[in-house]
Structure 1
């Protein structure tokens, strides 16, 4: 239990002590309007971001969770820091190895971000903001200027994320930073009044985990090999490292060194420093995510087919990407956001051999209609194919640009058109683009790539006369089942026949749904844009209405119970056929209030325990985790329950948003993953023979059930319930009379 003394406002006396002149001077904020007269908050040295969870029962320690932001009020050489939460009144000790200091503007920015995304946001913010040289070698120093350092200071060179207590301690010079707040005043500095930290703990310093746990199921953006961030005696304290010093005397050297620490230009390091210092720079560059992200494309670019790794410094300027600064990438090189022009440039320069699970081009072509129109995309691709060389190039450089930049880009543009045709229904969604594409191939592509142009024209002709996607119903070679003479009586039907024809009907509607309709559903749930999707979803409601009306329309208790048993068997067969949509509609109808309140009917139902097993899938907890886990085990024909996927699509729209001039591609990536999972079973039709009599019977009853108002179901259920109670009273009377 935490000591009560920690919760009482006590006076915090900070004695002057020697300090390093490079440490920044913390400013004391003015008292807020709600502060009592004479009260001054404790001096905040810096804010820190917590990288790990820290749990402790010690009365003097401050437990915290990963991604919290704390305010440090005191630092000890032992590695224990006194910290508190913002506007809090409890001060406790935290291990410095578990946190990373933040600049003031970065701390304010991260406070506005949801807690689970702060570490990712911090890494993303630092992708294109390499730390100053002083920060790279002086952990805990937040000054942006580069100072001439003492030789003993240079020996503390370490990783940007290395906590300061891991490095050898250096002597402190000058007064404590808190003492210099009023250095121009003759009066002593004001003593802050606030929570006082307890005595420094004597417990050994805990070590953080070797790897940060992933958040939200995605890999952590923190270094996965953090153990190498800790200094090793053989690296930072070796005699060779102390023997050579890196002197930063002029702006030219500083500029060149900053360029070296960004890309992995080891030869540039050798020109400035000794071999040992170069080795130290290599260690820093190895863990630099910004250099990994910025130059991933150049490393595996199609413009350099004979090179497995291409240094940016060796790429001529006229061969480099011109809009790469308009893209925000994560540590794996995946696009998080960017402008349309920059995305088109990446599309036409991306190597097909990139080590990505899903290519950027595939996700872009599947979701580009949420960013731009097909006509604008077509014009931008044609513009990339017809681009002119940069100005002021020599004839030799122009030829080099054509062979190493223009031709690979043109081939990539043609690959994109083929992918658009074959995988993303260009002819079905945008038939007018196909005509423009044909003219472009004949006028511009044929003179340069006659073979490729001929192949694409043949592909257009082949797709033009093919059967449109999702409109066919395959005829099974199996003979249809012999239907019983049902005379419009459901109980005389074969439940297997009903389940199979329901699966065929549902799959036919499911196969017509396009990915564009699913993406459009994020903005509108009605209209022609989502007509086929709504037609499929409405079948779920129609099946449920048919189930309820078939039960309530029976006047006899025994028939109502038999009808419930019949639908439970249909639901079980639908589960075996992986028709999850129909199974869901049936069990939801059977568990509705208008059916469950018929207690006397359920007393005669023999398969109620089978229904309870199926209802476990319909548990909405965990975003319908039961359905999701079930779908992961299905490989063959299937009609999924899409309600949870549509909810995911709307939730993604609310979670991410575009900024002016830039599009959040991470949002499109999540949409692509959701829609792909939702529609992946369209390629696997059922091998079930079509039965016209049974199919007609099903469609007629679906329309009949859907024509009833919701009030009809409630009123009819009330009437049936009263009849059951009346019959129960009569039965009790007869039993009492001896019958």
Structure 2
């Protein structure tokens, strides 16, 4: 019987012949951003058939040769991409299934490039992108990461899972000799199948791929993985174990435990109704950080914001972050304006400047921005007698916070600062939303007819990857009930309050009437949309260097 008519059995766990020693070019991934920092990996086979890097920081990888060839992963967290074989040197039956230039557009230099300095895949049909994802020719781990983070923006989980299952059952072309069929089976089918299973495993174990509404695909994968041909592969056995684990745990996110020691809380003196200024500013900053960190950890890395199904509005988690920022800004303005005397208002302003600075020191940039936004709200900024109470010391502290989030040069000060920050951190989400909005508006969804613009997806993935690293480690602060209760009461005071800005403006004119002409044009419709908006009558001696970018204004008008 012709070997092509035999049932397709799994091949040994060696997709490449023993004398093949590929050269890999790698770049670190892990929790770092997608900025490229390439290095060469000279790889060779050890006696136990494991791929070893001579430059792997003195530590040989523990993964099997097949896993490394399939995944492009080295134990220290690095990844590699392989050069694509020149088509003319390969047998026709080992060519890619997609037609390059028609189904998929890849950089024309013949090399799979490292993101983001040079993107390998520019565009492709969904089918071709899935084929490239599981290619037997190349291992492009940056493409894999970008695809899994963004595929819901151009497809859906059922379509992708269906294409992957279809990809697993790839059939050999007609007209092969027995020797050619064996080569096709080893050099193409086995590698593709193993990569399909590895992608499925990533989909199952990654907390940010499957949502509650996607869990039906787990049943579909359970049926698929129980096939004998799947179970004959080691990767198939791993996948079955992960599916069973996923079915037991549901879609609950993996809890990340902070290993930083918990600082002793600063508890205020027992009092039935403590006042704001009696709370230590550092502890207030910590309690705000607990609130903001909890909200930020719930965000699914912004991907749902840009999916086709949620294009009509922001996700609940992102809306919660934005609304909390607005509430903090309202709270600050309200606390200042409720004091009748200029001196008392000045004390409150100085207090909030200190809290904002403590948030900055804790790397809670979200609360810092919200507090400074409240202080710079026009109803507060126009109070000249109040700001006369602010010394140059406090003006300098406020200026430091403002410069930190200066929107000039695409928030370059803030971005540079983040490079020196290690988790835990609560970033200012507005920078990420601004960047994503810019990508969304400036890049077309499709190019060359109906091909998915994957360059756009890779840019989105780069932003998501940057935000994702701040979710790797939460803060470890103790809840201080008196302060937490005070914040809960004051922040929820502004739930569904209509025309709160009008009320602030009216009260501002009552506190210091007639000293400045009415300036209703300054009054923002939404605090987030006017972060650090420059006002005409800002008190002299206190420079406001930060003006919200047009992208944030546009974003806020879309989201709120």
Common fold by TM > 0.5: yes
2:64 corresponds to which residue? none
SS at match of 1:678: helix
SS at match of 1:499: helix
| Residues 313-345 of structure 1: CA deviation (Å, up to 9, x unaligned) | 331111111214222122453001111222111
- Does residue 611 (structure 1) correspond to residue 398 (structure 2)? The answer is yes
| Alpha-carbon distance in 1 for matches of 2:307, 2:430 | 12
| Alpha-carbon distance in 1 for matches of 2:210, 2:457 | 23
Shift in alpha-carbon separation, 1:489–1:428, aligned structure 2, 3 A: same
> How big is the shift at 1:617?
2.3
SS at match of 1:359: helix
| Alpha-carbon distance in 2 for matches of 1:426, 1:435 | 16
Shift in alpha-carbon separation, 1:368–1:522, aligned structure 2, 3 A: closer
| Alpha-carbon distance in 2 for matches of 1:696, 1:400 | 69
CA contact (8 A) 2:346 2:386 kept: yes
- Does residue 651 (structure 1) correspond to residue 442 (structure 2)? The answer is no
> With CA pairs under 8 Å and 6+ residues apart, which has the higher RCO, 1 or 2?
2
| Residues 88-109 of structure 1: CA deviation (Å, up to 9, x unaligned) | xxxxxxxxxxxxxxxxxxxxxx
Shift in alpha-carbon separation, 1:522–1:385, aligned structure 2, 3 A: closer
CA contact (8 A) 1:618 1:627 kept: yes
SS at match of 2:478: coil
Q: 2:232 aligns with which of 431, 448, 451?
A: 448
2:555 corresponds to which residue? none
- Does residue 420 (structure 1) correspond to residue 209 (structure 2)? The answer is no
SS at match of 2:176: coil
**Counterparts of residues 121-520 of structure 1 (less than 5 Å):** 310-325=85-100, 326-330=103-107, 331=109, 332-333=111-112, 334-349=120-135, 354=139, 359-423=142-206, 425-429=208-212, 430-443=214-227, 445-449=229-233, 451-466=234-249, 468-469=252-253, 479-485=264-270, 487-515=273-301, 517-520=303-306
> How big is the shift at 1:428?
3.5
| Residues 473-530 of structure 1: CA deviation (Å, up to 9, x unaligned) | 8697555432334624111111111100101110000000003545427996764x61
> How big is the shift at 1:420?
1.5
SS at match of 1:481: coil
The count of residues paired between Structure 1 and Structure 2 equals 421
> How big is the shift at 1:426?
4.2
Q: 2:489 aligns with which of 689, 693, 700?
A: 700
> How big is the shift at 1:681?
0.1
CA contact (8 A) 2:334 2:504 kept: yes
Shift in alpha-carbon separation, 1:447–1:609, aligned structure 2, 3 A: closer
| Alpha-carbon distance in 1 for matches of 2:308, 2:199 | 26
Higher Cα Rg, which structure: 1
Shift in alpha-carbon separation, 1:310–1:410, aligned structure 2, 3 A: same
Shift in alpha-carbon separation, 1:696–1:473, aligned structure 2, 3 A: farther
> How big is the shift at 1:619?
2.4
1:715 corresponds to which residue? 506
> How big is the shift at 1:692?
2.9
Q: 1:559 aligns with which of 334, 338, 344?
A: 344
- Does residue 678 (structure 1) correspond to residue 461 (structure 2)? The answer is no
> How big is the shift at 1:573?
0.4
SS at match of 1:663: strand
2:61 corresponds to which residue? none
| Residues 632-680 of structure 1: CA deviation (Å, up to 9, x unaligned) | 2211211111112112112112222113321110000000011221232
SS at match of 2:450: coil
- Does residue 530 (structure 1) correspond to residue 530 (structure 2)? The answer is no
> How big is the shift at 1:444?
5.0
1:256 corresponds to which residue? none
**Counterparts of residues 5-16 of structure 1 (less than 5 Å):** none
CA contact (8 A) 1:520 1:530 kept: no
CA contact (8 A) 1:480 1:689 kept: yes
> How big is the shift at 1:379?
0.7
| Alpha-carbon distance in 2 for matches of 1:643, 1:521 | 19
TM-score, normalised to structure 2's length?
Answer: 0.69
CA contact (8 A) 2:285 2:355 kept: yes
Q: 1:669 aligns with which of 439, 451, 458?
A: 458
1:233 corresponds to which residue? none
Structure 1 ranges of 4+ moved more than 6 A: 300-303, 470-476
SS at match of 2:269: coil
1:586 corresponds to which residue? 371
Uncovered stretches (5+) of structure 1, i.e. residues with no partner: 1-216, 220-299, 726-739
| Alpha-carbon distance in 1 for matches of 2:281, 2:473 | 24
CA contact (8 A) 1:470 1:512 kept: no
SS at match of 1:515: coil
